[in-house]
Amino acid sequence: MLRIGLLGASRIAPGAVIAPAAKRQDVTITAVAARDPARARDYAKTHGIAGVADDYAALIARDDVDMVYNGLPPSGHLEWTLKALEAGKAVLCEKPFAMNAGEAQTMVDAAAKAGLPLIEAFHYRYHKVMQQAVAMVRAGALGTLHRGYAMFEVPIPKTPDELRWRRDLGGGGLMDLGCYPIHALRSLFGEEPKVREARGVFEDGVDTKMTAALIFSGGVVAEIACAMKSETFGARLTLAGSKGRMEIINFLAPQMGCRFTTTVDGVTTEHPTDGPSTYEAQLAHVVDVMTKGVTPLTGGADAVANMAVIDAIYAAAGR
């Protein structure tokens, strides 16, 4: 039985961890902690969690917690991931992994020293749609890649308690949304890009929109775009190569509706998109890492590299 403790009474945890765990017999959510103990108690009652810790430190010290889910704002990822690792707990850390690449490297080094798993919760990467897309590209199905594009936009209302509108907490469109297109293109190209240029729209110190051109080997250009002031949800990924083209409409959460097509040598194929949700697939991988010694798919050098691209885009955009 994998016993998970929740750091933070977050809005993401019910869908990302609590619901997937409820479908399994080998995972249980044992406790939750929040800045306000009363909120933690209400959260535990709402979601059927037996344990409530007085604070974050008390949660990571519990004997009935094997892994900590760090669902805190990015500004809390470094401190509480390090403390969890020091307490002998593995960590599933929400994206974006840290405030910058330097923090990410510190976290990865600490996990290596402790000999414990530290996984970044890039749930989309575990769905069979993305798994198949990566496998096809790596196998040369599209031939030599010529260009790429990935975008993610969703309206995020500006409210006092919305962390994504708080730069000090690690908010911003690039951090919360753009991290996905960056990660997707890096995963598909299988290498690290350089940032050629970037343009952002800023409001109260937070980027509401960002576009950037990434340069992969051979001078191949791939563009990313994100926005948190938009009319609707959108998450699209396209790749073009010497043999054909790939397009995934909603690569981020295929369980919410997705269209995955390839056109190779003039033949268009629509690929299946069913199967376990991204979060269910992610938790299944976490269990394999914790119980079978499987190497984490996300985290480690991959997490540091993704934050490095985010840092470079901000620098290019003049922040």
Q: How far apart are CA 305 and CA 153, in angstroms?
A: 22
Three-state secondary structure of 124-178: HHHCHHHHHHHHHHHCCCCCCEEEEEEEEECCCCCCCCCHHHCHHHCCCHHHHHH
- Closest by CA position to 250, among listed 146, 131, 150: 150
Tokens of 126: 């575990």
Match 């990434």 to its residue by tokens: 214
**Beta bridge mates, 244:** 264
Q: How far apart are CA 204 and CA 106, in angstroms?
A: 29
**Beta bridge mates, 209:** 201, 227
Q: How far apart are CA 21 and CA 33, in angstroms?
A: 18
Name residue 92's amino acid: L
The residue annotated as part of the active site, out of 95, 113, 158, 194, is 95
- Pairing mode of beta strands 2-7, 67-70: parallel
Yes or no: say if 146 and 220 are a contact pair by the CB < 8 Å rule: yes
Q: How far apart are CA 60 and CA 73, in angstroms?
A: 17
Please indicate whether residue 23 is annotated as part of the active site. no
Backbone angles phi, psi at 28, to 5 degrees: -140, 145
Which residues are known to be catalytic?
95
